[in-house]
Amino acid sequence: MVRAVYPGTFDPTTNGHMDVIRRASALFDEVIVGVLCNSQKSPLFSVEERVNILKEVTKDLPNIQVRSFEGLSVDFVKDCDAQIILRGLRAITDFEFELQMAQTNRVLAPHIDTMFLTTSLEYAYLSSTTVKEVAMFGEDISKFVPPYVAEKLNEKMKNVR
């Protein structure tokens, strides 16, 4: 059985993340989406909110689980008894950082491999940061995120604005 972990911040989940999750769900027996609880970043959504959003938007995919984690991705992957770290590659700008991470993780845990899914072209420009910026100015974000995320993001922005 091949189990992959897809780690990230997911603040919030975009259609780009969903594309990777759907494709991974067809490729691996099990996929655990790992939501990073990073005390050095100050995300808009709490880790519980990000986990709940992901659970809701992946509920039609039976082999997807969502869990939060703290610390190093490789330790979480070991904890999940998984063999693969899955990451998305949007553009060449992602490449250098991702390569460095993958090679560091390889030294830390040689039995765990990093695999990349290249983004579908229609989502290549999408990032959680730009979606939050657009939402902050009250613009329509329905093309960027699943409807449930749009609802939660618009609610959140009402309180932030």
Positions 57 through 86 that interact with ligand ADP (CB under 6 A): none
Cβ neighbourhood burial of 113 (10 Å; 0-12, 13-18, 19+): middle
The span from the CA of 88 to the CA of 72, in Å, is 18
Is 17 a binding residue for ligand ADP by CB under 6 A? The answer is yes
How many helices (H) and strands (E) are present in the chain, helices listed first?
6, 5
| Residue 131 near residue 145 (C-beta atoms within 8 A) | yes
Catalytic residues: 17, 41, 90, 128
In angstroms, give the least distance from the CB of 50 to ligand ADP.
9
Contact assessment for residue 34 and residue 115, using Cβ atoms and an 8 Å cutoff: no
Cβ proximity to ligand ADP: between 88 and 146 the closer is 88
| # of chain residues touching ligand ADP (CB under 6 A) | 17
In the region spanning residues 22 to 61, those forming contacts with ligand ADP, defined by CB under 6 A, are: none
Cβ neighbours of residue 15 closer than 8 Å, sequence gap 6 or more: 123, 126, 143, 144, 145, 146
Tell which positions 80-119 bind ligand ADP, by CB under 6 A: 87-88, 90, 94, 119
Q: Which of 47, 64, 112, 126 binds ligand ADP (CB under 6 A)?
A: 126
What residue ranges bind ligand ADP (CB under 6 A)? 8-10, 14, 16-17, 19-20, 87-88, 90, 94, 119, 123, 126-128
